[in-house]
Amino acid sequence: MASNDLMIQQFEHDLVGQSHALESVLPPGLELRRFMRTVSNLLQTHAQSARLLAADRQSLFNACLKAAGDGLLLDGREAVLTVFHESKSNTDKVTYMPMVQGLVKLARNSSEISNIVSEVVYDKDEFIYRPGIDEHPLHQPDWFGERGKPIGAYAVVTTKDNEKIVTVLARDRILAIGQGGRNADQYMPGKGAHFVEWWKKTVIKNALKYSPKSTYLASAMAADNELISPDKIPPTEKNVTPIKTLKGILHGESVTARTESEPPSGRSTVDQYIEDQQENTPVEVINAAPVADQGEAMKQRVRHSMQDNHQSIEPSATEQDEKDCQLFLEVIANITDLKELKEFGEDIAGKVHPDFLDKVKGAYKQRRNALMNEQ
């Protein structure tokens, strides 16, 4: 136990050294000290505390960084740390997993969703739902009686426009989803002590796929999807196709971009940061500052680019800077695909003069929201 306490103290010390990176990805309203305190508390109370601390240290830092970037506390309610054995490297790795409370929190914080209801249905419950006829399910359980065996679950997401998005999944479908991940036993009523929460999270995520989402919510859902075991997924060839982005518009070039669904900007920025650090930098000297918000990412990259070149921020914009800004705004207004908009945002990082960052950031966010609403 004393050894475990020392390992926790050492990790806390190392985590303080990464405070700049953590603070830069935390969303407004989530304080760094509070986030770090919940990490410390979780490590002390986690059922697998010793295994977490003995696991690959870089993956532990990465898991904390991703949770921070998604705006979730590692407090066991909004999100938790989980350890798994990676067969390829024959080492224990750590990842973070959003919980039901965390997904609901991010959904409500998005200002697009007003309410989420989810319940598990048992075979003695009264349950009726007729798609296309009923706005939402009729569910009348006997809360204080014998409800029988769990047979399925449902979720109802209500948007700010009072639209109801309903998902109903049968037991077999939920268990099949669970079998594709690293926590299959948690979904089993006879094995998982908290299977109800796992079933609820499954149907909530399914309903949220068809709901308007903030960057933070989409990123947290992507984090949860990453828990699908790679050993259970057959390798596939990644298709790529040329997409004309800002680089092509300005320089007549074409770049290659992946056509499969990509994570939102916050997750992409954090993941790229992690990959760069793993390749080039020891954990103890991480100094980069990834951010979850795409607009803030543009600002940070401009600053870092100037610092790397020993330059100072320009005191005033030139006529060419203003022309470039107008071109950026025009391109943003004419993009009709979210993925292409994301590529565009990455391309303009470091190319926008600080005087015009707020304007470009506002146009980018407005266009992104419009495209999300069209889906």
**Extents of the domains making up the chain:** 2-96, 102-214, 240-374
CB atoms within 10 A of CB 230: 11
What local confidence, expressed as pLDDT, does residue 308 receive?
A: 46
Helix/strand/coil for 255: strand
What local confidence, expressed as pLDDT, does residue 110 receive?
A: 78
Query: Is pLDDT larger for residue 292 or for residue 99?
Result: 99
Percent of the chain with pLDDT over 70: 74
List all residues 6 or more positions away from 173 whose beta carbon is below 8 Å from its beta carbon.
Answer: 152
Model pLDDT for residues 46-69, shown as the tens digit of each residue: 888 888 888 898 899 889 988 898
Query: Is pLDDT larger for residue 290 or for residue 324?
Result: 324
Name the average pLDDT for the chain: 75
- Residue 130 confidence class, pLDDT cut points 50, 70, 90: very high
The CA angle 361-367-373, to the nearest 5 degrees, is 135
Percent of the chain with pLDDT over 90: 19
Q: Is the pLDDT of residue 307 over 50?
A: no
The Cα 100–Cα 7 span in angstroms is 30
- Angle, helices 357-374 vs 294-308, to 10°: value is 140
Q: Give the distance, in angstroms, between the CA of residue 64 and the centroid of all CA atoms in the same chain.
A: 12
If phi over 0 gives left and psi between -120 and 50 gives alpha, with beta otherwise, what is residue 350? left
Query: Is pLDDT larger for residue 191 or for residue 280?
Result: 191
Q: Is the pLDDT of residue 18 over 50?
A: yes
Indicate the length of the chain as a whole number. Answer: 375
Quote the tokens at residue 308.
Answer: 């790397």
What local confidence, expressed as pLDDT, does residue 266 receive?
A: 46
What local confidence, expressed as pLDDT, does residue 290 receive?
A: 39
Model pLDDT for residues 319-341, shown as the tens digit of each residue: 777 877 888 887 888 888 888 88
Question: Whole-model pTM?
Answer: 0.52
* Weakest-pLDDT range from 9-18, 78-87, 310-319: 310-319
Mean predicted confidence (pLDDT) in 219-237: 54
- Residue 182 confidence class, pLDDT cut points 50, 70, 90: confident
Mean predicted confidence (pLDDT) in 206-227: 77
What local confidence, expressed as pLDDT, does residue 172 receive?
A: 94
Mean predicted confidence (pLDDT) in 158-174: 92
Quote the tokens at residue 341.
Answer: 């908009």
What local confidence, expressed as pLDDT, does residue 53 receive?
A: 87
The CA angle 84-292-351, to the nearest 5 degrees, is 130
Whole-angstrom CA distances from 114 to 73, 84, 103, 182, 311 are 21, 35, 13, 32, 46
The CA angle 225-226-230, to the nearest 5 degrees, is 115
The Cα 370–Cα 164 span in angstroms is 20
Which stretches within the chain are classed as H helix? Answer: 2-17, 19-25, 32-45, 49-54, 57-70, 100-109, 171-179, 195-208, 215-225, 246-251, 265-280, 294-308, 319-334, 338-348, 357-374
Model pLDDT for residues 248-268, shown as the tens digit of each residue: 433 433 333 333 333 344 444
What local confidence, expressed as pLDDT, does residue 292 receive?
A: 41
What local confidence, expressed as pLDDT, does residue 140 receive?
A: 95
Amino acid at 260: E
List all residues 6 or more positions away from 302 whose beta carbon is below 8 Å from its beta carbon.
Answer: 349, 350, 352, 354, 357
What local confidence, expressed as pLDDT, does residue 10 receive?
A: 83
List all residues 6 or more positions away from 112 whose beta carbon is below 8 Å from its beta carbon.
Answer: 159, 160, 211, 212, 213, 214
